[in-house]
Amino acid sequence: SRSMVLYAGHPYMMRRLSSPRFPFLSIGIAGFVLRQASAMSTSTTSKYKGAVVFLHGLGDSPAGWSSIEQVLPSIRPSLQDKIKYSFPAAPTIPITINGGMEMPGWFDLFDWPIAVGSKDDEEGLLRSISQIEEAVEKIQRDEGIPKSKIVVGGFSQGGAAALLAAYRAKGKDKTFEPYAGCVGLSAWLTLPESLQVPQEAAEKTPLLWCHGRYDDKVLFEQQSFGVAKLKESGVKVTDTSYDIGHESHPEEMAAFADFLEAALLGDGENPNTGSEL
């Protein structure tokens, strides 16, 4: 089945595709895909003030979310030509909840829906962190942007990987460098029992967590659970929720744009405005 929703007053469409055989594909491909109605020009000579590494969801591709490069500046013009965007592609791996069928995924999934306490694929999660770090290192090498001016984020499974990359401590012999911020859209906190947020991340990496109250794939309970755990560790969190399912929302994009503006173009203060749950 297929449905199309156009949100009036916002220059993009959000499309949801669903599979009658594998309905859980809406984590990624069936999640709302942002599309810009009119292209916006960009300058290749602009000096970037920061960067965003954003991960797509299960079964999706970088193209599924690449339009935020136009959408976010259309909401906050200050972002135009000042932010470098990177959209890594997940590897194609067998997914257990899909009967072992291979598809783009950051890590394996064992339980459905994804509730608090669902089993985690630690090996796959650590692999996804390595891929995020490769994307970050490329930005640092090619653009000269420090990690302290890079926001990492993602939708659904991509958001779960981004959260772990931002708030998981490294080994004792490795130096931890905090990100400028983290954005989780319909995400969840993985490996919560072993969570050890480095002090640097708690102090310097604020989090924006947006979630649908009617999400039946990554359950809404995941937001309150994850936010509470991270706040206990000292992370400054802005959490917002909307009357939607496992999809995106115009107000969510506005919150995203505001967060980036504060995190990457602001005066260095944490872009935290508190809970809106």
Angle, vertex CA 259, rays to CA 218 and CA 35, nearest 5: 65
CA neighbours within 13 Å on the CB side: how many for 92?
Answer: 3
Contact 131, 96 (CB under 8 A): no
Confirm if 176 and 200 have CB atoms less than 8 A apart. yes
Q: Which two tokens stand for residue 210?
A: 């947006």
246 is catalytic: yes
| Active-site position among 120, 121, 215, 239 | 215
Residues 162 and 152 sit within 8 Å (Cβ to Cβ): yes
Question: For residues 164 and 34, what is the distance between their CA atoms, to the nearest angstrom?
Answer: 25
How do beta strands 181-185 and 150-155 pair?
A: parallel
Amino acid at 241: S
Which tokens belong to 12? 């993009």
Q: Which of the following is catalytic: 66, 156, 241, 248?
A: 156
Q: What is the DSSP string of 179-244?
A: -SEEEEES----SGGG----HHHHHH--EEEEEETT-TTBTTHHHHHHHHHHHHTT--EEEEEES-
Catalytic site residue from 211, 246, 248, 249 = 246
Phi, psi (rounded to 5 degrees) for 211: -150, 150
Matching residue, tokens 């809970």: 275
Residue 18 bears catalytic tag = no
Among this protein's residues, is 19 annotated catalytic? Answer: no
Q: Which segments within 167-263 are labelled E, that is strand?
A: 181-185, 207-212, 237-242
Which residues form the catalytic set?
156, 215, 246
